[in-house]
Amino acid sequence: MLAARKLRAGMPGSTPGSMVKEGYTFGLPLLVLGGVFYLLQWNVAAVVLVFLALFVFSFFRDPERVIPAEAGAVVSPGDGRVVVVTDEECEGRAGKRVSIFLAVWNVHVNRSPAAGTITKMDYRPGKFLAAMMERASLENEQNVFTLSTEAGEIVFKQIAGLIARRVVSWKKIGEKVARGERIGLVRFGSRVDLWVPKDAEILVKVGENVKGGSSVLARWPVKPTAGKLEESSKAETDANLTVTGNRS
């Protein structure tokens, strides 16, 4: 079992473990209007509005997650179902892409797949194709993050869908983020993509359900430098000599 830790990383205008502020923005007016309609005895309209308000509150929920602490773990940027695992180049570099579809009932708060520094953020306006479609990764509106980690660069995307019409980022270029830290939100059904270099080991398959911040999609440990390898080898040699009595 992977070692894990509880990450309590907040974001603007929300309380970790409760609901994103947009939930109040969109849900409270529906609830108030439903109450007004109930007082006017427009019962059917009141019930519809109250149910819509409850749906909005559920959509914008923001549960706490147990973040794996295993070295080299790359976690899911979002909740949903894995729809694509494929080899793919990114800016001329060989790698692998994992795409996750977020249905309307999934949590839509997105999280950083690894610890590092955001070196690039690219907002790309585009279409609003159904997020299940393969073309959505290239053609839909999206935020593209490049994250510099101890092992190297990885890329992840927030992608709008047929119903989701806005991708929201809470981070800026140059910010440091922890593994599993909240980084943004996609409203009302969407997709997230993760790209890792070819030497990363993918641990999920198409059809699996994953949770943002807690499900490990890949393993990509930091490779020791030559200097560290020499130090490690010397330390092991010294230890062996001491144990066998050849060094006092």
- The residue assigned the tokens 């603007």 is 12
Secondary structure class of 147 (helix, strand, coil): strand
Catalytic residue among 190, 214, 233, 248: 190
List b or e across 162-188, with b for residues whose CB sees 16 or more CB atoms inside 10 angstroms: bebeebbbbbeeeeebbbbbbbbbbbb
Instruction: Provide the 10 A C-beta neighbour count for residue 124.
Output: 14
Instruction: Count other C-beta atoms under 10 Å from residue 189's C-beta.
Output: 23
- Copy the structure tokens of residue 106: 């999934």
Question: Could you tell me if 227 and 233 are in contact, meaning their C-beta atoms sit under 8 angstroms apart?
Answer: no
Judge residue 113's burial from the number of C-beta atoms within 10 Å of its C-beta, 0-12 exposed, 13-18 middle, 19 or more buried: buried
Question: Does 190 participate in catalysis according to the annotation?
Answer: yes
State the DSSP H helix or E strand holding residue 11, giving kind and residue range, or none if neither.
Answer: none
Task: Provide, for the chain, the percentages of residues in helix, strand and coil under a 3-state DSSP scheme, each rounded to the nearest 5.
Answer: 25, 35, 40
Q: Encoding tokens for residue 203?
A: 């641990």
Written as six digits, the tokens of 110 are 């997105």
Catalytic residues: 190
